[in-house]
A and B are shown apart, each in its own frame.
Chain A
Amino acid sequence: MENQDHLVQHSIPQLLRWRVKATGEKIALREKDLGCWHSYTWNQYYDFVRKTGLGLKKIGFEKGNKIAIISDNIPETLYMAIGAQAVGGISAAIYQTSLPDEIGGILEYLNVGIVFCSDQEQVDKVAEVRAKIPGVKLVIYEDPRGMRSYQTDDWFMSIKDLYALGDAAHRETPELFNALVDEGKPDDVCHLCLTSGTTGLPKGAMLTHRNYINMGLQITKVDPLEETDEYLSFLPFAWIGEQMNSFGVAMATGIAVNFPESVETTMDDLKEIGPHFMFGAPRIYETIRSQIWLKMDESYWLNRTLYRYFMKIGEEAAGYRMTGKQMPGRLRFLAWLGKQIIFRPLVNQIGLLRLRRAYTGGAALGPELFTFYQAIGVNLKQIYGQTEIVGIAYMHRDGDVRPDTVGKPLPGTECKISEEGEILSRSASVTPGYYKLPEKSAELLEGGWLHSGDAGYIDANGHLVVIDRISDVMHNINGDMFSPMFLENRLKFSPYIKEAVIFGDKKEYVAALINVDPIVVGKWAEDRGISFSTYMDLSFQPEVAELIKGAVVEINRNREKPHFKIRRFAILYKLLDMDDGELTKTGKIRRKFVREKYNDLFEALYDENITEKKVEAFFQYQDGQTTTVDTSIRFYTMEGD
């Protein structure tokens, strides 16, 4: 493919105009409405952007003004954002699921003057906080349904009226729009992207035209796309994951963006479009896998038998494919056969047959999911990045997919691990800072590097490994860093371990309290004729301890750093539970609470002379009754290095 690097010299609207000149009659957008796919060429796309931009200008939207978009995935979202950018404005997007007060707060913080809503649901929310947002002069809506009570109020406006204003302005001065687009500079801020703050108001990362376009160009250097490729837009537009595709990748490559009919029909629309690449959070891939499992379960016996047999072959072949190794001839033939007989039709059923690459990001994905998708022939890869670097900065390369890493930096991205172990990045896609938060911006960009807030390291293959949020990591007595969550996840990958708590902050070694999985281990014990009565009894069985010990030995053997070794562990007599305050509502461990509640166990874990200790187990039943049981708990030391 020819070098497209010169495209970063454009602003997004300028690049859109460039696309019109290059491939004006090619389909740029497609939208399903009333059961039909309607397509729009790059020419029509640009026309709509012009109408919107000039319409906005006509109602007093000036250079530097801000427009907020609260919308489902519809083409008008792009018209609004790019139309605003064309006249020098800045767009911002808010999640459709946000509550009215949240929306009000964000609109105030970003100094928004105009809000665009897709439907009544969103308009209602903005109208509810109207008194608190004096800065907002106008609310534009797309779907007129249910808007009758707003029609008499000129705070609200239909997008059709905006188009009419834009058309009129264009007829008056036909050269105006081109001149406005010419004024744009690649380093102007074009969009404010909200970062998902866990507490309080989110921060608005300022992103420039160059940030987006550069990202789109760099990623397609690794994974090239054709102009004829299709993409289905189903992620929330407020998430960087959607913007990087519809602003960055689509503009840089000229692919077509498709918009589903409604949120509920996304999976059916995916089937109809058959996209060539997709991006999503791990949950989407988990959902699709569940669907496949369900379909296979409902299928007839021959199908199921073939599926089971070729799944094993596929998993074996996936091991070779992910590491780029040469497959033995027999395996290669069987894998090909499995693909023809079962996996091609299966993947076609879910609409992923044309898919060349699927990316996952935003959270960790279990290694078995990678193997599963690679086995059925879907090239699923991990990406890593932040909003502040336009989503993707690190990515697996084809034939080099290692489930425990996030891959290598994109071309033009530099990576450095700070002395504290924080992942730092530098590229043309890094944000100039947060909107109206100079102190936070300075912290973020200290020393010219983007501070991710994540701890990580680069492994022997040059892949970046992300450990945890830097605020959550612990250091042992020598100051060596480790992540309790990372190690807990390793333990939990064992089917026999339900939950684990890792200790070791400022201690000589890492120790763990482990919950065995009552169902799996219970079944395991039954199969071996080990009798037990309660969960407490099961946990105390020496055979169970041996089983868990085996799992810990395995994890210790595969550990990345020597100090990650779990030296001592004990099996806890009760499951950690939300109602007992040991887990949060989302199922995360409340570390401090657990540490204090089981303080005597904690101390025994760090006294190597203790192998067994009497404890009083305290239980609270659902009706509020409590009881105390005397039991003992054993401690196990892992020998060797």
Chain B
Amino acid sequence: MTQLIVSDVTLTFGGLNALFNVDIVIEPGIITSIIGPNGAGKTSILNCISGFYHPTKGRIQYGERNLTNASPHQISNIGIARAFQNLELFRGLSVLDNLLLARHQNLRYSLLDAIIFFGKASRIEAENRAYVEKIIDFMELEPYRKSMVGNLSYGVQKRVEVARALTLAPKLVLLDEPMAGMNIEEKEDIVRFILDLKKEWGVTVVLVEHDLGVVMDISDRIYVLDFGELIGSGTPKEVASDPKVIEAYIGEE
């Protein structure tokens, strides 16, 4: 199992520190949450890990590999997938097509194969479909398989977004506010999916989430950011009783 180490990362935008000397260790096989007030740098961390931004200073290491300056597609190829906070889906395509499309990097056949289709291309397409069906089953998206994404409710679209990340068969998945804007029941469903993901599929989960109740319930480890700096970390219990964290969230007495 592979550890993801973010060490001493600073990310600067024209003199403004979005992240400042942040150290985070993502242990494999557990749920790690990153919390903090608005603008604390949570999404910036995910952007650094997934290769959308490259740290100004510091290093990101996944097992033996240095990801500091890797591009997003290299990162997704080594098994780190991401679900975006603002849905990044094709609204005019069906759920099934969105998920199949997300597996395009697994389509290892040539243009010629595709033109002939029978044989290699058809076999690989069938394998892809079978894998996508497993994800549909896991995320309980059967009723929406053929619905256009744009017509679905927000809660279901969020589920499709998570499913899209899972189609890459990741070892580590970055979930950016998967529960934002959901009602209690939809949240409960997503929580169940995240727990199953960890316990049955052995996927490492990094969760950025505002709902502290959920975070405290399901996280194994929590990192707290405030204005780009790490102000606390530990188990949910430790974090909840950390005076610095309380101050950042509730303010001084």
Contacts and interface: CB of A to CB of B under 8 A. Distances in A.
A34 B199 contact: no
Contacts of A146: 192, 196, 200
29 contacts: A33-B137, A34-B130, A34-B133, A34-B134, A34-B136, A34-B137, A35-B129, A35-B133, A35-B136, A35-B142, A35-B145, A36-B133, A145-B196, A145-B200, A146-B192, A146-B196, A146-B200, A148-B199, A148-B200, A261-B142, A262-B140, A262-B142, A262-B143, A264-B142, A264-B143, A265-B142, A265-B143, A268-B143, A268-B146
Nearest to A266: B143
B95 to A, nearest CB: 11
Contacts of B142: 35, 261-262, 264-265
Interface of B: 129-130, 133-134, 136-137, 140, 142-143, 145-146, 192, 196, 199-200
Contacts of A33: 137
Contacts of B134: 34
A151 to B, nearest CB: 11
Given A261-B142, A264-B142, A268-B146, 6 more contacts: A33-B137, A34-B137, A35-B129, A36-B133, A145-B196, A146-B200
A146 B198 CA distance: 11
Q: Quick one: which of B129, B134, B137, B145 has the most chain A CB within 10 A?
A: B137
A33 B136 CA distance: 11
Contacts of A265: 142-143
A33 B137 CA distance: 9
A562 B134 CA distance: 65
Closest 10 CB pairs of A and B: A264-B143, A34-B133, A35-B133, A265-B142, A265-B143, A262-B142, A261-B142, A148-B199, A34-B137, A146-B196
Contacts of A34: 130, 133-134, 136-137
Nearest to B195: A146
A264 B130 CA distance: 21
Interface string A262-304: 1011001000000000000000000000000000000000000
Contacts of A261: 142
Interface of A: 33-36, 145-146, 148, 261-262, 264-265, 268
Nearest to B143: A264
Nearest to B132: A35
A35 B140 CA distance: 12
Contacts of A35: 129, 133, 136, 142, 145
Nearest to A143: B137
Contacts of B192: 146
A189 B169 CA distance: 50
Contacts of A262: 140, 142-143
A146 B136 CA distance: 16
Contacts of B146: 268
A544 B142 CA distance: 52
Contacts of B140: 262
A318 B200 CA distance: 56
Nearest to A35: B133
Contacts of B133: 34-36
B191 to A, nearest CB: 12
A261 B145 CA distance: 12
Contacts of A148: 199-200
B197 to A, nearest CB: 12
A265 B140 CA distance: 11
A35 B192 CA distance: 22
Contacts of B130: 34
A175 B145 CA distance: 46
Nearest to A264: B143
A253 to B, nearest CB: 30
A148 B145 CA distance: 28
A146 B138 CA distance: 11
A146 B200 CA distance: 8
B208 to A, nearest CB: 25
A476 B199 CA distance: 69
B138 to A, nearest CB: 8
A268 B95 CA distance: 15
B160 to A, nearest CB: 15
B203 to A, nearest CB: 14
A146 B130 CA distance: 22
Contacts of A36: 133
B156 to A, nearest CB: 11
Contacts of B137: 33-34
A35 B145 CA distance: 9
Nearest to A33: B137
Nearest to A261: B142
A268 to B, nearest CB: 7
A49 B143 CA distance: 30
A350 to B, nearest CB: 16
B226 to A, nearest CB: 36
A148 B202 CA distance: 13
B201 to A, nearest CB: 11
Nearest to B137: A34
A268 B133 CA distance: 16
Nearest to B140: A262
A268 B147 CA distance: 11
A35 B100 CA distance: 14
A262 B129 CA distance: 19
A146 B140 CA distance: 14
B47 to A, nearest CB: 33
A34 B146 CA distance: 14
Q: Quick one: which of A35, A262, A268 has the most chain B CB within 10 A?
A: A35
A351 to B, nearest CB: 14
Contacts of B143: 262, 264-265, 268
A152 to B, nearest CB: 14
Nearest to A262: B142
Nearest to A144: B200
Contacts of B196: 145-146
Nearest to A149: B199
A349 to B, nearest CB: 14
A34 B96 CA distance: 12
Contacts of B136: 34-35
A468 B166 CA distance: 56
Nearest to B131: A34
A267 to B, nearest CB: 9
A344 B101 CA distance: 36
A143 to B, nearest CB: 10
Contacts of B200: 145-146, 148
A148 B197 CA distance: 12
A529 B146 CA distance: 51
A268 B141 CA distance: 13
Q: Quick one: which of B130, B134, B143 has the most chain A CB within 10 A?
A: B143
A273 to B, nearest CB: 15
Q: Quick one: which of A34, A36, A145 has the most chain B CB within 10 A?
A: A34
A146 B189 CA distance: 13
A35 B199 CA distance: 25
A406 to B, nearest CB: 35
A145 B140 CA distance: 12
A200 B101 CA distance: 54
B198 to A, nearest CB: 11
Nearest to B138: A145
Contacts of B129: 35
Nearest to B134: A34
A148 B192 CA distance: 13
